[in-house]
Structure 1
Amino acid sequence: MIPFKSLLTVDKASGTPVFIQLSDQLTQLIRSGTLPVGQRLPGTRQLARLLGLNRQTIVAAYDEATAQGWLESQAGSGTFVARHLPEVTPQLLTAVTAAPPAESFAAMGQVTPGYAFDTRPFLSRPVLTNTGGLRLDDGFPDIRLAPLAELGRAYRSYFRWGNPQQHFGYGDTRGHLLLREQLSIYLNETRGLRTTVDNILITRGSIMGLHLASQVLLRPGDVAVTGETTWAGATMNFQKAGAVVRTVPVDAHGIDVDALATLAEQMPIRLVAVTPHHHYPTTVTLRPDRRVRLLQLAEQVGFAILEDDYDYDFHYLSRPILPLASADRQGMVVYVGSMTKSVAPAFRIGYVVAPASLIDELARLRRIIDRQGDTMLEFAVGQLFKTGDLKRHFRKALRTYHTRRDHFCQVLTQELSDSIQFDKPDGGLAVWATADPSIDLTATSNRAAQHGLYFSNGLTHNPPGHTLNGTRLGFASSTEDELERSVLILKKAISVR
């Protein structure tokens, strides 16, 4: 005899209907082997009396478990555990509760899966989140400046425009046509590119563009080259594609193209990744003669240039230097950008600009990863370009960030000139600062956090085998008052050592 009264319990205070609780518990008993295949269950009236419940509740529980395939009903005979189920070795008879205790879920999270899989240490990288409080971040925009009201109006217009079937069905994997049209116009006007909509793929941030390009352009064993200091997100994608990553020096004028040419004589190079406008993380600009030489070398050797122009819109010394892609005549450059640094990290819109045949291949790959982007967001951002709201935002943000850069650099010089060295950046949203060798940036970062200030300890910027003792101190996301308070906390954290 199976003690159904002991095994089945209900919690009438639970938000889960009682019949669902019973159905789930019966399912658990079958899974554990407590109720064997073919076992006859009590009649609905009998079980209702045992549990003190309404008969219709038991009927509903049986019907639910039957619909799920765990029970079967035979006219005139009763309800049975479905005979098509596999036999399970019975476990110890214990009461089955409607929901396992919370601690069992925590323990479940620690269980090693019953199958093997490879872990890749190079994918381990801290996830940056906004924890609130003061911050000298990696170089993020101030979301308080974002054109949110204008974005809201653009979103609402999406529901009033065109054919609803078209709006809420599947869209173009390459991105919403309106955004690609407007982005093409904007890039041609501001960056000297010569694009059409066929040259643009909209992605969920620049990291997706880098991933897609890496998977399409790189084969296992190919050589990908970066600067000795570089963005870890790009390197991780090259490694994931199976590439061998080589590095060349970076100095005050950007990557050393002569060193790259020497490397090209020693081995075949498939791809070179650069951030020429504001090198990451040091913010230096690639000198014009090196830009020309880099494009010439790409044409001679045949490697692709992956140009990540992550914050082109914010340059404070004269007008921005045009990207490599603007001078590309042979289709050697894959140009990647993002709205993340221009507006807000939550705007998961990036783009890849390349010859149409490569864009088509990237779109085919993107389709098996992410069928399409956020059509409504893409439409709304396209509208902001079309109405001029986004361009006005860029002009306003540029003025604001310019002022903040100047103020931040002034306060850093006044308060920390003996401890931190830096050059005022020509553009971008962060200062690259190196600390005196006697300063432990990790310990300093931890002490600052105790006083409400976040900044990176800079360890992710260190090339293998080298310690730069430097970090990026973002100024754009903080007001002048917040920057002053941040520097004072940083000064205090440095002085305690």
Structure 2
Amino acid sequence: MNSPVEVPYKSFIQIERSSHIAIYIQIANQLMQAIQSGILLPGTKLPGSRSLSELLKVHRNTITAVYEELYAQGWIEIKPNKGAVVMPRLPKVKGRPAESGGYPATTGFTFATTALLDNPFDYAPCDYVFNDGVPDIRLTQIDDLSRSYSANMKRKSNWKKMSYYNQEGSRYFKEQLSRYLRLSRGFKISINNLLITRSIEMSLFIISEIILRQGDYVVVGSPSYFAANMIFQKSSNQVLTIPTDDEGLNTEALNELCKSHPIRLVYVTPQHHYPTTVSLSARRRMALLELSKKYGFVIVEDDHDYDFHYDKQPLLPLATVDTAGMVIYVSSFGKSLAPGFRTGFVVAPENLMVEMRKYLGIIDRQGDVMIEQALGEMIEEGAIQRHMKRSLKIYKERRDLMSALLEKQLGDWIEFRQPTGGLAFWLSFKKPVNLMRLKKQCEKNNLFIPRTLLYQNKEVTALRIGFGHLDNDEMEKTILILKASLIQLQQ
């Protein structure tokens, strides 16, 4: 075997003396990588501790520690009167060329892949953007949020909570949230009926893991929320659709479907159907609950924008009149706040909560106790309610302006109904328009429309566009860009 002095050790051993990782560990790791990548072949004699220490300009005891580490892990053997030698028999590492020594491009094992969860979002660097209806971060009470969060971080009584956290969440926040839900949404619940999650999507994922098995039938409206569809399709692989109209989900069609299929779960957004914004009528709400009792399917009620209503009081959630324990209610809290301060939650009977906490404990055990404490204080002090009252006035004005602009500028192309709540409009085109071409033309004109807002098939050509994030000037400019793009497509 070649003399150790012929191996260019300094070319593949780089020491970072400012690193928190011990120098002997750095050297040992890089020697292991050299052995695995084939730079140091089996049987290669390594330099003596004195020679290598002089070459790398480290203490001799450091190299001694390196060799002890390599020996302990089985990479080298120590021979009397010969020193350290790379083990003659080592497992071959496939997929990594000896000359590259880089990180492998692919795994050495197989695993299941899915196209169902491919990222549905896209992006373009435009100055103006439509979304599906999110609040304006500029209206957020940053001072209230930062003051409450900072105070909780400094409070010594919270330090223990930061060092130990479990899936039960912050009891204080759950007490305040359950009280808030009792007053605002008519829920007669305790903290034992609440699960705190990061988002509505996380809530739906946990529900699907517990409720659904491959082959179970799930019913959603047509159209429906794309993220929910992805989750249900991954869990059951049997997602069926029924029509929606001016009264929301068509319960007559659901009844017919139940006669031929054993439906396990029905997903509904009754307050403002996603994406069309229509409300599920009182008649169909009662019919849906009756069908659930009759056929035994679970209702998952997604109340994603309950807090945003303008013309009348919102209808109470289905879950508040459910006496059979068939409704699982999911929603979010703090949607009008900065993204990091928003949280999802689930309301359900206690026996389901027990199981849901097990799953939450696996995927999000740490949680964020300081955010929850801060949100709890904002509820107790009334800061959330004051912020919502101020925000709703602005959002109502923006809704009215958007409605006027759409009618004036796009009335020849679209039909729409002014939403009674939420932060988005549903625009149906009077004549078919290629929405992908429209999207590309808008991008050329500095307006980005995500593909998740496009709804087009043989029966429907429609857009869901949010207005909450746009001020008056931005709203006028985006609608004019949309109009100009439509005109350019006709030319």
TM-score (norm 1): 0.87
Please report how far the alpha carbon of residue 381 of structure 1 lies from its aligned counterpart in structure 2 after TM superposition: 1.3
In the alignment, is residue 149 of structure 1 matched against residue 143 of structure 2? yes
For residues 30 and 119 of structure 2, what CA distance do their matches in structure 1 show? 41
Q: What is the correspondence of 1:371-382 to structure 2 with a 5 Å cutoff?
A: 371-382=365-376
Q: Which residue of 1 aligns with 2:90?
A: 86
In the alignment, is residue 490 of structure 1 matched against residue 482 of structure 2? yes
Native 8 Å contact 1:176 1:378 kept in 2: yes
Please report how far the alpha carbon of residue 495 of structure 1 lies from its aligned counterpart in structure 2 after TM superposition: 1.5
In the alignment, is residue 387 of structure 1 matched against residue 381 of structure 2? yes
In the alignment, is residue 209 of structure 1 matched against residue 203 of structure 2? yes
Q: Which residue of 1 aligns with 2:328?
A: 334
Alpha carbons of structure 1 residues 211 and 317: separation in structure 2 relative to 1, 3 Å? same
**Cα deviation code 1:156-175 (max 9, x no counterpart):** 22234454553123324132
Please report how far the alpha carbon of residue 283 of structure 1 lies from its aligned counterpart in structure 2 after TM superposition: 0.3
Q: Which residue of 2 aligns with 1:35?
A: 40
Number of equivalenced pairs: 481
Q: Which amino acid aligns with 2:9?
A: L
Please report how far the alpha carbon of residue 24 of structure 1 lies from its aligned counterpart in structure 2 after TM superposition: 4.3
Q: Which residue of 1 aligns with 2:111?
A: 117
Please report how far the alpha carbon of residue 15 of structure 1 lies from its aligned counterpart in structure 2 after TM superposition: 5.4
For residues 204 and 492 of structure 1, what CA distance do their matches in structure 2 show? 40
For residues 392 and 244 of structure 2, what CA distance do their matches in structure 1 show? 27
Alpha carbons of structure 1 residues 187 and 8: separation in structure 2 relative to 1, 3 Å? same
**Unpaired segments ≥5 residues, structure 2:** none
Please report how far the alpha carbon of residue 306 of structure 1 lies from its aligned counterpart in structure 2 after TM superposition: 0.4
Q: Which amino acid aligns with 1:435?
A: F
Matched-pair identity in %: 36
- CA RMSD in angstroms, aligned pairs only: 3.1
Please report how far the alpha carbon of residue 472 of structure 1 lies from its aligned counterpart in structure 2 after TM superposition: 0.9
Q: Which amino acid aligns with 2:10?
A: T
Please report how far the alpha carbon of residue 356 of structure 1 lies from its aligned counterpart in structure 2 after TM superposition: 1.0
Q: Which residue of 1 aligns with 2:8?
A: 7
For residues 164 and 153 of structure 1, what CA distance do their matches in structure 2 show? 15
Q: Which residue of 1 aligns with 2:265?
A: 271
Q: Which residue of 2 aligns with 1:246?
A: 240
Native 8 Å contact 2:13 2:30 kept in 1: no
Q: Which residue of 2 aligns with 1:54?
A: 57
For residues 309 and 92 of structure 1, what CA distance do their matches in structure 2 show? 54
Q: Which residue of 2 aligns with 1:441?
A: 435
Per mean C-alpha deviation after superposition, the further-off stretch among 467-476 and 155-164 is 155-164
For residues 231 and 2 of structure 1, what CA distance do their matches in structure 2 show? 67
Q: Which amino acid aligns with 1:26?
A: L
Alpha carbons of structure 1 residues 456 and 25: separation in structure 2 relative to 1, 3 Å? closer
In the alignment, is residue 305 of structure 1 matched against residue 327 of structure 2? no
3-state DSSP class of the match of 1:432?
A: strand
Alpha carbons of structure 1 residues 2 and 151: separation in structure 2 relative to 1, 3 Å? farther
Native 8 Å contact 1:232 1:460 kept in 2: no
**Cα deviation code 1:392-419 (max 9, x no counterpart):** 1111221111111111111121111112
Please report how far the alpha carbon of residue 280 of structure 1 lies from its aligned counterpart in structure 2 after TM superposition: 0.3
TM-score (norm 2): 0.88
Correspondence for 2:277 among 264, 274, 283: 283
For residues 401 and 89 of structure 1, what CA distance do their matches in structure 2 show? 60
Q: Which residue of 2 aligns with 1:402?
A: 396
3-state DSSP class of the match of 1:270?
A: strand
For residues 92 and 59 of structure 1, what CA distance do their matches in structure 2 show? 33
Correspondence for 2:65 among 63, 66, 80: 63
3-state DSSP class of the match of 1:141?
A: coil
3-state DSSP class of the match of 1:360?
A: helix
Q: Which amino acid aligns with 1:40?
A: K
Please report how far the alpha carbon of residue 64 of structure 1 lies from its aligned counterpart in structure 2 after TM superposition: 4.0
Native 8 Å contact 1:139 1:429 kept in 2: yes
Please report how far the alpha carbon of residue 349 of structure 1 lies from its aligned counterpart in structure 2 after TM superposition: 1.2
Please report how far the alpha carbon of residue 113 of structure 1 lies from its aligned counterpart in structure 2 after TM superposition: 2.9
**Cα deviation code 1:72-131 (max 9, x no counterpart):** 68698575246597355999986x8xxx7xxx67xx5xx443322222222224236796
Alpha carbons of structure 1 residues 438 and 364: separation in structure 2 relative to 1, 3 Å? closer
**Unpaired segments ≥5 residues, structure 1:** none
For residues 115 and 93 of structure 2, what CA distance do their matches in structure 1 show? 40
For residues 307 and 93 of structure 1, what CA distance do their matches in structure 2 show? 56
For residues 87 and 14 of structure 1, what CA distance do their matches in structure 2 show? 27
Alpha carbons of structure 1 residues 10 and 478: separation in structure 2 relative to 1, 3 Å? same
For residues 267 and 365 of structure 2, what CA distance do their matches in structure 1 show? 27
Alpha carbons of structure 1 residues 188 and 242: separation in structure 2 relative to 1, 3 Å? same
**Cα deviation code 1:264-283 (max 9, x no counterpart):** 22222221110000000000
Please report how far the alpha carbon of residue 36 of structure 1 lies from its aligned counterpart in structure 2 after TM superposition: 4.4
Native 8 Å contact 2:222 2:242 kept in 1: yes
Alpha carbons of structure 1 residues 489 and 170: separation in structure 2 relative to 1, 3 Å? same
Q: What is the correspondence of 1:219-234 to structure 2 with a 5 Å cutoff?
A: 219-234=213-228
For residues 41 and 408 of structure 1, what CA distance do their matches in structure 2 show? 75
For residues 391 and 445 of structure 2, what CA distance do their matches in structure 1 show? 29
Per mean C-alpha deviation after superposition, the further-off stretch among 213-222 and 282-291 is 213-222
Alpha carbons of structure 1 residues 154 and 340: separation in structure 2 relative to 1, 3 Å? closer
Alpha carbons of structure 1 residues 276 and 36: separation in structure 2 relative to 1, 3 Å? same
Q: Which residue of 1 aligns with 2:464?
A: 472
3-state DSSP class of the match of 1:121?
A: coil
**Cα deviation code 1:306-361 (max 9, x no counterpart):** 00000000011111121111221221210000136332443351000011111111
For residues 354 and 425 of structure 2, what CA distance do their matches in structure 1 show? 38
Q: Which residue of 2 aligns with 1:357?
A: 351
Please report how far the alpha carbon of residue 479 of structure 1 lies from its aligned counterpart in structure 2 after TM superposition: 0.7
3-state DSSP class of the match of 1:439?
A: coil
